[in-house]
Amino acid sequence: MKRAFALVIAFATAAFAQAADLDAGKARVSKVCAACHGETGSSVSDAIPNLAAQKAVYLEAQLKALKDGSRKNPVMNAIAAQLSAEDIANVAAYFAAQAGAPAGSKSAFLPNLAKTGVTFPENYRNTFTKYHTINFPATKQVRYYYANPAAVAAAKSGKSLPDGSEMFVEVHAAKLDAEGKPVSGSDGFFVAEKLLFYTAMARRAGLGNDIPDMLRNEDWNYAVFTTDKQHRPGVNQAECLACHKPLDKTSYTFTIKQIADSK
């Protein structure tokens, strides 16, 4: 009985692969999926699953769930929402046809997503507006948000953020009490104890030219900086681009209202 069932599954999978267009699937994967899952389904990091040799039916079901929102993942919801039913079938079949990734193997992500055009904004504390603060209880962090004059002026005028706009974030570990819980100040925000890193997004003409259309946020680029103001190695812009992709109506910015309301 088990053997018969296995044969049914095998024949169904083979029929699925024949019906799908593997070349079209490969083309779609190389433009978007490869940035995180690798060209052949071997992912770029331990936090991202390998897709090589997964069952096509399973992959298709997951992509459909991500597309309709019944499965929640901010990055993949944004990507899957742009895939047609045909794209989903082709991508699923392509990954299913790949050899399983060896244990511990990782793919390099696309070179144009490993680099960034964002530079560290020296003297930002004197030239940018500090417009927002957010507590992150899960990571015991507090983050301070800054925007440069071009971004602030546009947001206050109700306009899209133009080329030259920059947003910058200080990420701090919160001070902890004896029980390991973040200490809050009189303003309700966690008390910052140690600077961990910086994140940034900037818009300039041409910064989006080498980014695949399904990930491109017009001409925005993203970056993470270490405390010594250097680009953090190994950062993949694909995750930032996908997360911000649905925000095209608000200049790809989560906090545009807070920028507009800043003093």
Domains for the chain: give ranges and CATH numbers. Answer: 2-108 (1.10.760.10), 124-260 (3.50.70.20)
Tens of pLDDT along 22-37? 999 999 999 889 999 9
pLDDT tens for residues 144-165?
999 999 999 999 999 999 999 9
Position 11 scores a pLDDT of: 46
CA atoms within 13 A on the CB side of 36: 18
User: In terms of Cα–Cα distance, which of 225, 245, 208, 214 is closest to 32?
Assistant: 214
Structure tokens at 84: 């047609």
Compute the C-alpha angle 192/198/202, nearest 5°.
135
The secondary structure of the chain, three-state, reads CHHHHHHHHHHHHHHHHHHCCHHHHHHHHHHHHHHHHCCCCCCCCCCCCCCCCCCHHHHHHHHHHHHHCCCCCHHHHHHHCCCCHHHHHHHHHHHHCCCCCCCCCCCCCCHHHHCCCCCCCCCHHHHCEEEEEEEECCCCEEEEEEECHHHHHHHHCCCCCCCCCEEEEEEEEECECCCCCECECCCCCECEEEEEEEEEEEECCCCCCCCCCCCCCCCEEEEEECCCCCECCCCCHHHHHHHHHHHHHHCCCCCHHHHHCCC
Please name the amino acid found at residue 183: V
pLDDT tens, residue by residue, 225-244: 999 999 999 899 999 999 99
Give the pLDDT confidence score for residue 18 in this predicted structure.
53
Query: Which pLDDT does position 22 carry in this prediction?
Result: 96
Q: What is the tens place of the pLDDT at every residue in 81-108? A: 999 999 999 999 999 999 988 887 889 8
Closest by CA position to 255, among listed 132, 78, 118, 160: 132
